[in-house]
Amino acid sequence: MKILVPLKRVPDPDTRIRLKPDGSGLDPDGVKFAVNPFDAIALEEALRWKERDPATEIVAVTIGGEEAIEQLRTGLAMGADRAVLVRATGPLDSLAVAKVLAALCQREKPDAVFMGKQAIDDDANQTGQMLAALLGVAQATFVSRLERDGTNRVRCARETDAGIETIEVDLRAVFTADLRLNEPRYVSLPGIMKAKRKPIEEHTVAGLGVDAAARTVLLKMELPPRRRTGVKVKTTAELVEKLRLEAKVI
């Protein structure tokens, strides 16, 4: 069995984000980058499947430049068997990424794709769905539980606004991980040492025969307005007066 796991390079959730003066994007100076947290959850789930079936092969994939190798090494240190870097320059939108992943799936022929439901840098939540459509396979999104009963059918619990939805799909599908699916393991020192010996295969977008022209263009980024500082009141009457006269909400 083979599982393909895309890993996106994103700003670390704990790093301080600054924008470029012209609003054209993030200022990368001094920013620490990491594996997208939802992708790390997807990789953890693949690793747990491998622990139950040691014959499973896990292939970590990312798209980007030389700097993206850092995230592939993290995936290899966690336990992925090998990695693939698709070199690309310039921004790629969700459809372009899905096309690249679809081309890789045609080469690798994985039995399943595990990926994060969204990336924390753009929160697009589109690539998994687009990839499933391009491959013509089933999709199970926002997955918080995965159960395989030894056959090629998988039972999935999906997080929805109305509650937990349980569906069953073929194993050959795209599964996107929700936050509650699992808690990723920490990278160990032995894992880091082993990762240095694991192979990283490289391709280019053009070499895969993919038209990666973006159909959406980022015009500008702006930080949200700062919240006003709150004030303390001594009595309920004073609170009501401020809400009525100053805030004009009652």
- Between 97 and 21, the higher pLDDT residue: 97
Q: What is the pTM of this model?
A: 0.85
pLDDT at 35 over 90: yes
Tens digit of pLDDT for each residue in 193-233?
888 889 899 999 989 998 888 888 888 888 888 887 888 88
Q: Please check whether residue 131 is in contact with residue 117, taking contact to mean a CB–CB distance below 8 angstroms.
A: no
Eight-class DSSP state of 104? H
Q: Taking a C-beta distance cutoff of 8 angstroms, is the pair 126, 234 a contact? A: no
- 150 has a pLDDT exceeding 80: no
Indicate the domain borders of the chain: 2-246
For residues 200 and 84, what is the distance between their CA atoms, to the nearest angstrom?
5
Which residues pair with residue 176 across a beta bridge? 115
Task: Tokens for 164, please give them.
Answer: 């937990």
| Pairing verdict, β 173-177 and 138-148 | parallel
**Beta bridge partner(s), residue 85:** 62, 202
Domain 2-246: assigned CATH number: 3.40.50.620
Helix (H) / strand (E) element for 46: namely helix 37-52
pLDDT digits (tens, 9 = 90+) for 115-132: 999 998 888 999 999 999
Which residue in the block uniquely carries the two structure tokens 């769905």?
129
Nearest Cα neighbor of 47 from 75, 26, 74 is 75
Determine the pLDDT at residue 7. 96
pLDDT of 85: 95
For the ranges 11-15, 64-68, 103-107, 222-226, the lowest mean pLDDT is seen at 222-226
**Residue-level pLDDT at 250:** 78
SS3 (DSSP) at 62: strand
**Of residues 130, 132, 92, the one with CA closest to residue 8:** 92
